Amino acid sequence: MTDPTSTTTSIDAALEQHLDTTQAARLESYQAFLRIPSISALPEHAHDVRAAAEWLADALRTAGVGHVEVAETGGHPVVYGDWLHADGAPTVLIYGHYDVQPVDPLDLWTSPPFEPVIEGDRMLARGAADDKGQVHAHVMAAAALSATRGAFPVNVKYVFEGEEESSSVNLAAWLETNRDRLAADAAIISDTGFFEGNLPAITVSLRGLLYTQIDVIGSPVDLHSGGYGGAVQNPANALAQIIAALKGPDGRIRIPGFYDEVVALTDEERAALDALPFDEAAYQASIPVTALVGEAGFSTLERRATRPTLDVNGIWGGFQGTGAKTIIPAHAHAKVSCRLVADQDPDVIFERLRAFVQEIAPPGVTVAVQFLGGGRASLTPLDHPITQAGARALEAVFGRPPVFIREGGSIPVTASFASVLGLPVVLLGFTQPHENAHAPDEWMSLANYEGAIRAIVRTLDEIAALPR
């Protein structure tokens, strides 16, 4: 990778010099942000999420974004900030999220997840990549612009969410309510990353998500497996039976109607995907797993980015300790989620999943399926001027044109920005692949982080220069 600190031609010299001289303070600020355990999914961390919001709002103010507020959503707050003094210039909405994933299993972290440490090129901490690192890069880009130019090249509106890792349950309503003041010409979402081999990339599609919980209830208390075994349904066996029935050995999901609305790739799209420099063996070795496994008839890249999935995210019931406890568990549970693709509707897919689970539920237990969240997949146009502006910025900073990729993850706001606000969106993200987002030892490449700040400035300059 090109050393971003040497690409002084990509941004103006004063700004580059400012970034050079402020790096130590910048990394300290980054670490301070990472120290706040803003886990949005866990109610016991609600005050930490709010503390992170307040911290971020202060950082935006310090960065010269004149109007900043911590906006209530009914759940965790949105940090909103704007600078609107670039008369006649376009307005860009910038999105990231300051909440993070839970940290279990804690014992697999090399260092505590909320005590960030720098090891070589890596910042190690929960949120270092997803997504506090990228949010922080935007704040530092703003600070650099304020310090060196006293102004932004475009009007900017920052929307930093606190519930992205909790299915963005309140964001769509908040966007709807604030539709007028969020008016803009385009949106930049920074919550994605580079392609395998750390190739600069712009993501042109994201999968949607349906997140559910299946609860299987038997007797009110655990039963002695000797006294009752053989005479009653076992909720954990029943749960396994239900989960096993959801997917066939060919990797196809067996929920009736599940694939009905899936838009197939065109031959052209498939060819573009196949043309990406993807080393399947290296990918497998990097995880590592003993085999890559998925839906029959599709390549690994197709499976992970263009096909819907069904995964158990967690399962539990009965005795989990050392040794033996001879019980029939009173109940068993699983978190089951589907990644969705265009044009699957999470509400429709949930209803089909729920109905199918009820249909296959064995006798002697009570089975319920809870909806825990969902969002639609998104597809963004490759040829939009803002996408092309981002591509030019990436090439200028990182030394090669970006590849255009489809990502398997979900950023619920992407679909909302398009549907609620009617904005064109560019997914401009900077993390390296295999950065352990959602896993122990999450990390961010500091070269990518530093490059991100420069690429963000350059993207805003490129947008300002677009013909109106």
Residue 70's φ and ψ, nearest 5 degrees, are -95, 105
Q: Is 94 helix (H, G, I), strand (E, B) or coil?
A: strand
Q: Cβ of residue 289: shortest distance to its own copies, in angstroms?
A: 5
Q: Cβ of residue 24: shortest distance to its own copies, in angstroms?
A: 31
Q: Is 99 in the site for its own copies (CB under 8 A)?
A: no
**Token pair for residue 25?**
């303070």
Q: Is 152 helix (H, G, I), strand (E, B) or coil?
A: coil
Contact region with its own copies (CB under 8 A), list: 69-77, 282-290, 386-394, 398-406: 282-290
Residue 69's φ and ψ, nearest 5 degrees, are -145, 155
Member of 120, 321, 383, 468 binding its own copies (CB under 8 A): 321
Member of 107, 268, 281, 322 binding its own copies (CB under 8 A): 322
User: Which residues contact residue 341 at a Cβ distance below 8 angstroms, ignoring those fewer than 6 apart?
Assistant: 207, 208, 262, 263, 306, 307, 308, 377
Q: Cβ of residue 56: shortest distance to its own copies, in angstroms?
A: 21
Burial 194-221 (b: 16+ CB within 10 A, else e): bbbebbbbbbbbbbbbbbbbbbbebbee
In this complex, which beta carbon is closest to its own copies, that of residue 178 or of residue 192? 192
For its own copies, the binding residues in 428-467 under the rule CB under 8 A are 433, 436-441
For its own copies, the binding residues in 193-232 under the rule CB under 8 A are 207, 209, 211, 218-232
Contact region with its own copies (CB under 8 A), list: 72-80, 131-139, 315-323, 381-389: 315-323
For its own copies, the binding residues in 283-302 under the rule CB under 8 A are 287-295, 300
Member of 37, 153, 373, 451 binding its own copies (CB under 8 A): 373
CA gap 207, 341 in Å, rounded: 5
In this complex, which beta carbon is closest to its own copies, that of residue 234 or of residue 445? 234
Q: Is 453 helix (H, G, I), strand (E, B) or coil?
A: helix
In this complex, which beta carbon is closest to its own copies, that of residue 154 or of residue 305? 305
Member of 409, 418, 424, 466 binding its own copies (CB under 8 A): 409
CA gap 308, 207 in Å, rounded: 8
Q: Is 407 in the site for its own copies (CB under 8 A)?
A: yes
Q: How many residues does the chain have?
A: 468
CA-wise closest residue to 205 among 290, 116, 52, 307 = 307
CA gap 102, 114 in Å, rounded: 11
The site map against its own copies for 34-53 (x = CB under 8 A) is ------xxxx----------
Member of 1, 86, 173, 243 binding its own copies (CB under 8 A): 243
In this complex, which beta carbon is closest to its own copies, that of residue 312 or of residue 368? 312
Q: Is 102 in the site for its own copies (CB under 8 A)?
A: yes
In this complex, which beta carbon is closest to its own copies, that of residue 314 or of residue 381? 314
CA gap 209, 97 in Å, rounded: 17
The residue type found at 66 is G
In this complex, which beta carbon is closest to its own copies, that of residue 8 or of residue 436? 436
For its own copies, the binding residues in 160-199 under the rule CB under 8 A are 165-167
In this complex, which beta carbon is closest to its own copies, that of residue 109 or of residue 404? 109
For its own copies, the binding residues in 376-405 under the rule CB under 8 A are none
User: Which residues contact residue 33 at a Cβ distance below 8 angstroms, ignoring those fewer than 6 apart?
Assistant: 52, 55, 56, 59, 98, 127, 132, 135, 136
Q: Is 281 in the site for its own copies (CB under 8 A)?
A: no
Residues 347 and 211 sit within 8 Å (Cβ to Cβ): no
Member of 23, 326, 358, 419 binding its own copies (CB under 8 A): 326
- How does DSSP classify residue 28? H
Residues 396 and 16 sit within 8 Å (Cβ to Cβ): no
Q: Is 243 helix (H, G, I), strand (E, B) or coil?
A: helix
Q: How many residues at the interface with its own copies, by CB under 8 A?
A: 104
Member of 190, 198, 410, 459 binding its own copies (CB under 8 A): 410
Q: Cβ of residue 104: shortest distance to its own copies, in angstroms?
A: 7
Q: Is 323 in the site for its own copies (CB under 8 A)?
A: yes
Q: Cβ of residue 79: shortest distance to its own copies, in angstroms?
A: 21
The site map against its own copies for 103-132 (x = CB under 8 A) is -xx--x------------------------
Q: Is 92 helix (H, G, I), strand (E, B) or coil?
A: strand
Helix ranges restricted to H, 186-279: 225-228, 235-246, 267-274
E strand map for 49-150: 67-71, 78-83, 91-97, 117-119, 122-124
Member of 27, 51, 315, 342 binding its own copies (CB under 8 A): 315
Q: Cβ of residue 96: shortest distance to its own copies, in angstroms?
A: 16
Q: Cβ of residue 466: shortest distance to its own copies, in angstroms?
A: 31
CA gap 336, 315 in Å, rounded: 9
In this complex, which beta carbon is closest to its own copies, that of residue 141 or of residue 204? 204
